[in-house]
Amino acid sequence: MATVKINGKEITVEDGTLILDAARQAGFEIPTFCYQARLSRLGSCRMCIIEIGGQKKLQPSCVTPVMHGMEVFTENETVKSARASMLEFLLANHPLDCPTCDKGGECELQDFVFKSGPRRSPFSESKRRFHDKDKILSPVIIKNHNRCIHCERCVRICDEVVGRTALGSIGRGAKIMETSFMDSTLDCDHCGNCIEVCPVGSWMSLPYRYKARTWDLKEIDTVCPYCATGCQFTIGARNNEIVRVKSKITTGINKETLCARGRFGYNFIQSEKRLKKPLLKKNGKLVESSWDEAISFIKQRFGAGKKTAGIASARHTNEELFVFQKLIRDVFKTNNIDLDSRFANKWVTSSAIEVLNLAAGGISIFDALKAEVIFVIGSAISNENPITDYLIRQTAVDRRKTLILAHPRRFKLNSSANISLRYKPGTEGEVIKGITDFIEKGVFHGNVVGDISQVGEKFKNAKNITMFLGADILRLDNGTNVVAEIVALKGLLKKAGKNIIIQPLFDRCNQRGARAMGIHPLFLPGLKKVKENGMDCGEILDAAKKGEIDSLYILGEDIVSMYPDAKFAKDALSNIKFKVVQDTFLTETAKTADVVIPGASYAEKDGTFTNQEGRVQRLRKVISPVGNSKDDLDILCSIGGFAYKSAKEVFDDIKKEVLGYKDINFDALDGNGALVKGHGAENQGSRVKGQGASEIASASPRNDTSSNPYLDEYPFLLITGNHLFHSGRLSQNDDVLIKLLAEPFVEISEEDAKELGLTDKENVKVKSSEYEAVLKLRVVKGSQKGVAFMPENFDSVSVNQFYKKGQGIARVKIEKQV
């Protein structure tokens, strides 16, 4: 510990504390530009210079640690005038076009000049000017080089946090310019984090351009509706119109960062295509109706008992899902309720609940990342959970840690990984088993590309290991086997006295909350076992196909587009007598419904989401539901006849039924949210090895070596998932995200492309036994041979059309398009 005197005030801090932090702790404000807590220390702007007793030169407080007995002055005349002169220098070449700058009102330069800057400048020379017109770099990013003050926060966040290194400084002296290569967006993730950290209006958001003055915005903190990382952000609205999303350095696990979806994907809310009125099917056609008519129609027609079912999307709030579950179970009297969750069968999802410890309390990602070995399997995490990717990247910088990534595809985080493993989808269990075998017996079998023995060594030598398990596992018919292997490995490591954390990586914002709310055919709220097992999604569709389902309520899920076998799903749904779809857009599934009811988007309602860590966070209403659409909770309550008046009232009931939520105070939830506690010892998933594994023989990669004409004809395993700019089918309705990526593509390894004589960006024909389409090819160096990937985000070529029920992972061939 070091005791220092700051402006006469004594304070004791940890050794090595920066003078800046010590001064802030002591209650003194020091202005900074280049300093940003999570970035490497630059010490270049010299705004933070202070005087140290006995030293002639002023020192930058953001890079100088305290020393015991040091005397520091941050407010004396020397320091004040140095500060003012630094601002004077920064203003010398700054255009001072504040009246037309989007940053005006929240510009750090403006604020500091106001506080400590010179009121007049003797600068009378001509200013540096790079360009007259701002440079549009992408559909979301616009740059004004003239305003830049060269703090390089943008360069560092892009490199150190985002992992893109799309930016750099070019030129020297006053001609220095922070920009991308040739002002292009090569390598750019369009995350806009450079915009967020820029203290001035040099990087700006193009969609927000000239939309508002910052002081005219109504700003509300809420949670991102896309992946389950659960980033906090602030929505800015003007005249009931959402004009921007920004992140805050003080709030959420994401702090100042977001990904492209979170930051720019708010435009679907006000999309023209939003459903604005209930629709009823009359004479085979969906026509607009009144709310009363729609609700009473549902009440009349919806059946009860075994022949009814409900399927919900994990994008809904805990409160909505809890009430939905009540509606299905208490009113419609059935346990046939499930989540879309990649349409894994109930045994896979149940075993996942067990291995992921979802019945136990939540674990903060920061605690999980304290382990020396971090192992990620089953998620192209850079695309699925971009901010979790950032957090892992920053942790992996620590040379004492080992990051191991196992996935068929190569993606951004691989460049930060110590070990990368490649495998064929479906063989995840073999990868895990290989590690277990190596640790146990020193030998292993399996077709993994990469050094399993090195992984085994790292596991052996670590005291704390964190495994992240991605949602890919949930797509597997043999998921229960994968889980069994993980449980075996975990047991082995536990026996060796190691601390093991297994964390989920989910692709839908409230996947974890949904299970806790009882959206599962085997579990009631709080993961209490049901008395009589219900049917999962697949079983519901099977039954429907046989004509055994009369009524189905679909809350926010697009089964026709997502179920792996589009044709089958459509056929099955057409056999159901009465279908209700509650959604925000007229999805392919909604088109087949008898009643379509327009729900609200995340920005139009209150409630909570539980992220993948188990962190319960508040969603807050910013604008009222568009058109004649309604808050989903209101809709469910009026159909079910429940008396809840607000999300909070539902939450109070949740607290009674879901043990882990008992201590959470809805009104007190702030930017940090609250981690759930355990739901009780008797509540957990169940694992029955092999149960539910259906026919996978024909498609299983394990048959690869034997000659099989089907495999020879369709050599690629086709996998899917979210693209970095998209999430499910929701984001294709966002006119900004669609500008970032408008069309699906097919991605294969460089090895395969070479063998087939195909090159990046050319059009290819992708063909399975079920479907064919022409797509742009993307070639990635270092991905697994024999694997093709296609984003799941587009109606134009819907991946599930390539799939055939019962064949597991789809098989395709890829041919030159002539």
How many angstroms separate the CA atoms of 770 and 791, rounded?
18
Which CB sits closer to ligand SF4, 203 or 585? 203
Q: Does 164 bind ligand SF4 (CB under 6 A)?
A: yes
In eight-state DSSP terms, residue 101 is -
What is residue 128's DSSP assignment? P
Minimum Å distance from CB 38 to other proteins? 17
Q: Given candidates 28, 35, 112, 203, which one binds ligand SF4 under the rule CB under 6 A?
A: 203
Which of other proteins, ligand SF4, ligand FES, none binds 32 (CB below 5-8 Å, type-dependent)? ligand FES
Which CB sits closer to other proteins, 19 or 369?
19
Using CB under 6 A as the binding rule, whether residue 157 contacts ligand SF4 is answered as yes
Q: How far is the C-alpha of 558 from the C-alpha of 556, rounded, in Å?
A: 7
User: Alpha carbon of 392 to those of 162, 311, 376, 384: distances in Å?
Assistant: 10, 34, 10, 14
Span 530-569, contacts to ligand SF4 by CB under 6 A = none
> Which DSSP string corresponds to 683-706?
------TTTT----TTT-GGGTTS
Least distance to other proteins from the beta carbon of 704, Å? 42
Please identify, using beta-carbon distances, which residue of 194 and 279 lies nearer to ligand FES.
194
d(CA 805, CA 122): 76
Q: Which of 52, 107, 200, 790 binds ligand SF4 (CB under 6 A)?
A: 200
Using only C-alpha atoms, the chain has a radius of gyration, in whole angstroms, of 28
- In the bound complex, what is the minimum distance in angstroms from residue 130's beta carbon to ligand SF4? 12
How far does Cα 439 stand from its chain's mean position?
Answer: 33
What whole-number distance in Å separates Cα of residue 135 and Cα of residue 204? 10
Is 60 among the residues that bind ligand FES (CB under 6 A)?
yes
Question: Contact between 45 and ligand FES (CB under 6 A)?
Answer: yes
Q: Of ligand SF4, other proteins, ligand FES, none, which one does residue 62 interact with (CB within 5 to 8 Å by kind)?
A: ligand FES
Beta strand 810-816 with 763-767 is antiparallel
- Please tell me the distance from the alpha carbon of residue 654 to that of residue 323, in angstroms, as a whole number: 9
Confirm or reject binding of residue 48 to ligand FES (CB under 6 A): yes
- The least CB distance from residue 129 to ligand SF4, in Å, is 15
Minimum distance, C-beta of residue 311 to ligand FES, in the bound complex (Å) = 53
Please select the residue that binds ligand FES; options are 19, 23, 32, 350, rule is CB under 6 A.
Answer: 32
**Alpha-carbon distance values, 604 to 180, 376, 598, 674 (Å):** 37, 35, 12, 22
Between 47 and 730, CB nearer to ligand FES: 47
Q: Which tokens go with 78?
A: 């020397």
Q: Does 475 participate in binding ligand SF4 (rule CB under 6 A)?
A: no
Looking up tokens 């806790």 gives: 516
253 binds, among ligand SF4, other proteins, ligand FES, none (CB under 5 to 8 A by kind): none
- In the set 4, 13, 22, 35, which binds ligand FES (CB under 6 A)? 35
Considering only residues 199, 434, 685, 692, which one is a binding residue for ligand SF4 as defined by CB under 6 A?
A: 199
* Burial zone of 222 (CB within 10 Å; 0-12 exposed, 13-18 middle, 19+ buried): buried
Q: Could you tell me where the beta strands, DSSP code E, fall in 203-256? A: 203-205, 218-223, 232-238, 241-246
Query: How many helices (DSSP H) and strands (DSSP E) are in the chain?
Result: 25, 36
Is residue 44 a contact point for ligand FES (CB under 6 A)?
A: yes
Cβ closest to ligand SF4, residue 44 vs residue 575: 44
Which residue number, 35 or 771, has a Cβ lying nearer to ligand FES?
35
Are 746 and 766 in contact by the 8 Å Cβ rule? The answer is yes
In this structure, is the dihedral angle defined by the CA atoms of residues 177, 181, 182 and 184, taken in order, positive or negative?
negative
Catalog residues that contact other proteins under the rule CB under 8 A. Answer: 41-47, 49, 56-58, 63, 82, 85-86, 88-90, 92-93, 122-126, 128, 149-150, 168-169, 171-176
Q: How far apart are alpha carbons 228 and 225 in whole angstroms?
A: 8
Which one among 6, 11, 34, 465 touches ligand FES, defined by CB under 6 A?
34
Q: Is residue 258 a contact residue for ligand SF4 (CB under 6 A)?
A: no
Which residues are CB-contacts of 279 (< 8 A; sequence separation ≥ 6)? Answer: 286, 287, 288, 289, 294, 586, 593, 595, 596
Q: Which residues make beta-bridge pairs with 595?
A: 280, 580
Among 190, 246, 407, 726, binds ligand SF4 (CB under 6 A): 190
193 binds, among ligand SF4, ligand FES, other proteins, none (CB under 5 to 8 A by kind): ligand SF4
Among 47, 101, 191, 639, contact with ligand SF4 (rule: CB under 6 A): 191
149 lines the binding site for ligand SF4 (CB under 6 A): yes
Nearest approach, Cβ of 397 to other proteins (angstroms)?
Answer: 13
Question: Which residue number, 61 or 335, has a Cβ lying nearer to ligand FES?
Answer: 61
Q: Which of 22, 197, 253, 741 binds ligand SF4 (CB under 6 A)?
A: 197
Tokens found for residue 75: 């407010």
Q: Check binding of 155 to ligand FES (CB under 6 A).
A: no
Encoded amino acid at 649, one letter: E
- 199's contact among ligand FES, other proteins, ligand SF4, none, with CB below 5 to 8 A by partner kind, is ligand SF4
Label residue 340 exposed, middle or buried (CB < 10 Å: 0-12, 13-18, 19+).
buried
Interacting residue ranges for ligand SF4, rule: CB under 6 A: 141, 148-154, 157-158, 162, 164, 166-167, 178, 180, 188-194, 197-200, 202-203
Interacting residue ranges for ligand FES, rule: CB under 6 A: 32-35, 43-48, 60, 62
